[in-house]
A and B are shown apart, each in its own frame.
Chain A
Amino acid sequence: DAGVTQSPTHLIKTRGQHVTLRCSPISGHKSVSWYQQVLGQGPQFIFQYYEKEERGRGNFPDRFSARQFPNYSSELNVNALLLGDSALYLCASSDKVTGVFYGYTFGSGTRLTVV
């Protein structure tokens, strides 16, 4: 059974460009979450989508946007790239629970380098 898949694995972009990162959730999961991990820091929450609707947004500028498709896959878009956007972008999937949340598995991540 496939886990969370992300693409591309690595990419290099120039300041000012835009980038699209993709994520496919675990089969049956309807929620996708995006995190940014800058070198030396813990992951920071960017977005969470459930059933194609945004359910949460972290403290990131409007240059960051995301969407979720009918098949529950998701895209993270970043416009007007800055050097500080260089990071590992992580995607995780989950499903809504009515009780205790048991944690989720991250995809392998996309390493973005902005030069």
Chain B
Amino acid sequence: QKEVEQNSGPLSVPEGAIASLNCTYSDRGSQSFFWYRQYSGKSPELIMSIYSNGDKEDGRFTAQLNKASQYVSLLIRDSQPSDSATYLCAVVDRGSTLGRLYFGRGTQLTVWP
């Protein structure tokens, strides 16, 4: 059973701070990693993808990947109250060309003004 673990939270940060979300995965052969944001009562929304070791930046979001440590993280700079949501880490099943994903339980983030 492939596992994706996230720090359970909840995580609470003040507006303008950096929020750090972490994820580890069990399948060493995994190649593709995603972060989804999910507002309460809504479906998950893809916000970041990363495939290679290192950092990938998109606006206020930075995804970090370390395959040797089987670790993925998401940093949110200048956090805003609108970032308050649950963040889901997802890993693609190795060998899947159609995109079968394994998700963590999610980390609930609250950004207070």
Chain A residues proximal to chain B, CB less than 8 Å = 31, 33, 35, 40-45, 48, 50, 55-56, 88, 90, 92, 94, 96-98, 100-109
Segment at the A interface, from B13-21, B56-64, B72-80, B97-105:
B97-105
User: Across the interface, do A45 and B102 meet the contact criterion of CB distance under 8 Å?
Assistant: yes
**Known pairs A105-B46, A108-B43 / 16 extra A-B pairs, C-beta < 8 Å:** A33-B99, A35-B101, A42-B90, A43-B44, A43-B101, A45-B101, A55-B98, A88-B43, A94-B98, A96-B97, A96-B98, A101-B32, A102-B49, A103-B32, A104-B46, A106-B44
Residue of B with least CB distance to A55: B98
Q: Is B111 an interface residue (CB 8 A)?
A: no
CA gap between A97 and B32 in the complex, in Å = 13
User: Across the interface, do A108 and B42 meet the contact criterion of CB distance under 8 Å?
Assistant: yes
Chain B residues proximal to chain A, CB less than 8 Å = 4, 31-32, 34, 42-46, 49, 51, 88, 90, 92, 96-106
